[in-house]
Amino acid sequence: MQGQMAISYFNEMYQGGEIRAPYSRLEGWQREMPSELRSLKQAEAEALFRRIGITFAVYGEGGDPDRLIPFDMFPRVFTHLEWLKLERGIKQRARALNAFLCDVYGGGEIVKAGKIPGKLVYQNEAYEKSVAGIKPPRGVYSHIVGIDLVRTGPDEFFVLEDNCRTPSGVSYMLENREIMMRMFPELFRQNRIAPVESYPEVLRRTLASVAPAKCDREPTVVILTPGHFNSAYYEHSFLADLMGVELVEGQDLFVEGDFVWMRTTEGPQKVDVIYRRIDDAFLDPLCFRPDSMLGIPGLMNVYRSGGVAIASAPGAGVADDKAIYTFVPDMVRFYLGEEPILKNVPTWQCAKDDDRGHVLDNLAELVVKEVHGSGGYGMLIGPRATKDEIALFRQKIEEAPENYIAQPTLALSTCPTFVEEGIAPRHVDLRPYCLVGDRVELVPGGLTRVALNEGSLVVNSSQGGGVKDTWVLAE
């Protein structure tokens, strides 16, 4: 291994040997909990998760692909004031990202103004030429925006990446809270914690608010899933159940005339809003991949004619591309005339000669990511990489520099976490879910992911990460 840099990490519970105020009522709770009770409660939580069916799939592995995401019982806590700042920054970013999408599928003013290179937008594999010129209902392309945030200090928050297509994980946010309330009701009596259970209701209202103009009655909303083999299928069915809408597969829908219809036992029913959880390429075999068995033939013709709304809209992925990410602060200034509330992580684009030179000279100190990568794959964490791993990434960058960006190794904050030997700090991030329709809303909290392996900075479940309940203290 390379020599690791000495990095000071912000501990969200302890500062200068003192307990930070938001965690004051948790110190006695964890100190007084016997290890036997902790083990019992952990087993109870796992049994609840398994009984409910909260699993995820890891593709490409042998054996049973379904596994539990480890749940850590020690909650992460934000003050009301901390959350207010995050909320304002997240809403601002969601508005700017949607303005960018409307623009680049319309007049492209930000490109004409020289703020973003046209090549990065129009030659991006996530840019869908087939939807150029279409303005979706209320001008919203990305209806559920997941903003991944990291904390490095008492007042320092950075956006790690944006998720504008189909950000997953909200079911864990809701179930983490449900299980914590069931196991530790006394904690919720002692602490005034803002609720998150309104999320499905807010999501349904958001989706209904973007029904197309041709809808002249209460909108019919459905969730389109690839099926039960998908890694997030539990979440699809969970949300459909809580929202009171139908969970459908492509074969359950068909196009006739200017509308999309759902097959029911009482005959065809018109569908107005499709919350799709499948990728663009599989939505419509007549427009995208002709071999897709997951989509609805003719769907895009109905979408173009204003007969159905698709959330998030086809083509939204160009806004969360990692190369586009570097320009989001410019979007905020260009479209909103405001200064960004949340900062980006400093980022080098390997496609640029100067940036690439810096990255290649400092690979052992940087985090390198594939522009189109996700789930913690396709990454190099320089300080924890071997010489062979660094050499391999050097070769990859030299061969295809446009496929990579690099960022400094951030000092991700830590949160107390129950581990085998007791309680220890582990690195965390946060994914709040911002809903965009006739208004911009988010529930107070989000999904906290925790890197359970000591020293690890990778929080993704596919890479050994777990989840925590996220508390926002009420005023």
End-of-domain residue from the set 409, 443, 459: 409
Considering the domain architecture, whether residues 354 and 461 belong to the same structural domain is answered as no
pLDDT (0 to 100) of residue 450: 95
* H/E stretch holding 206: helix 199-209
Considering the domain architecture, whether residues 46 and 139 belong to the same structural domain is answered as yes
Which residue is associated with the tokens 């913690």?
A: 376
Residue 85 CB contacts under 8 Å (≥ 6 apart), including other chains: 157, 341
- Inside any domain, residue 311: no
Asked if 409 contacts 7 with a C-beta cutoff of 8 angstroms, the reply is yes
Residue 375 belongs to what domain range?
Answer: 346-409
Considering the domain architecture, whether residues 107 and 169 belong to the same structural domain is answered as yes
Q: Report strand pairing: 246-248 vs 221-224.
A: parallel
Considering the domain architecture, whether residues 180 and 78 belong to the same structural domain is answered as yes
- CA 126 distance to own-chain centroid: 17
Asked if 71 contacts 467 with a C-beta cutoff of 8 angstroms, the reply is yes
Burial profile 140-170: b = 16 or more Cβ within 10 angstroms, e = fewer? bbbbbbbbbbbbbeeeebbbbbbbbbbbbbb
Considering the domain architecture, whether residues 382 and 473 belong to the same structural domain is answered as no
- Inside any domain, residue 173: yes
Tokens at 226, concatenated: 């690839």
Sign of CA dihedral 453, 458, 459, 464: negative
Q: Report strand pairing: 157-163 vs 343-344.
A: parallel
- Inside any domain, residue 132: yes
- Inside any domain, residue 385: yes
Considering the domain architecture, whether residues 63 and 116 belong to the same structural domain is answered as yes
pLDDT (0 to 100) of residue 375: 53
Cα distance between residue 258 and residue 306, in whole Å = 8
Q: How many domains, the chain?
A: 2
Cα distance between residue 149 and residue 170, in whole Å = 15
- Inside any domain, residue 167: yes
Cα distance between residue 435 and residue 442, in whole Å = 6
| Total residue count of the chain as it appears in this document | 475
Nearest residue to 315 via CA among 98, 123, 117, 129: 129
Considering the domain architecture, whether residues 392 and 441 belong to the same structural domain is answered as no
| DSSP 3-state of 451 | strand
Considering the domain architecture, whether residues 21 and 89 belong to the same structural domain is answered as yes
Considering the domain architecture, whether residues 405 and 434 belong to the same structural domain is answered as no
Considering the domain architecture, whether residues 364 and 435 belong to the same structural domain is answered as no
pLDDT (0 to 100) of residue 206: 98
Q: Which 8-state DSSP code applies to residue 443?
A: -
- Inside any domain, residue 17: yes
- Inside any domain, residue 116: yes
Q: Which 8-state DSSP code applies to residue 463?
A: G
- Inside any domain, residue 310: no
CATH of the domain at 386: 3.30.1490.270
Along the 475 residues of the chain, how does pLDDT read in single tens digits?
344 445 678 999 999 889 999 999 998 898 888 888 988 998 898 888 888 766 655 544 444 556 678 899 999 999 999 999 999 999 999 999 999 999 999 999 999 999 999 999 999 999 999 999 999 999 999 999 999 999 999 999 999 999 999 999 999 999 999 999 999 999 999 999 999 999 999 999 999 999 999 999 999 999 999 998 888 898 999 999 999 999 999 999 999 999 999 999 999 999 999 999 999 999 999 999 999 999 999 999 999 999 999 999 999 999 998 889 999 999 999 999 999 999 999 999 998 999 999 999 999 999 999 887 655 567 888 888 899 999 999 999 999 998 899 999 888 999 999 988 788 999 999 999 999 999 999 999 999 999 998 888 878 776 678 999 999 999 7
Considering the domain architecture, whether residues 48 and 87 belong to the same structural domain is answered as yes
Considering the domain architecture, whether residues 111 and 151 belong to the same structural domain is answered as yes
Tokens at 18, concatenated: 């003192």
| DSSP 3-state of 158 | strand
- DSSP assignment of 362-385 equals TGGGEEEEETT--TT-SEEEGGG-
pTM of full prediction above 0.85: yes
Q: Which 8-state DSSP code applies to residue 280?
A: G
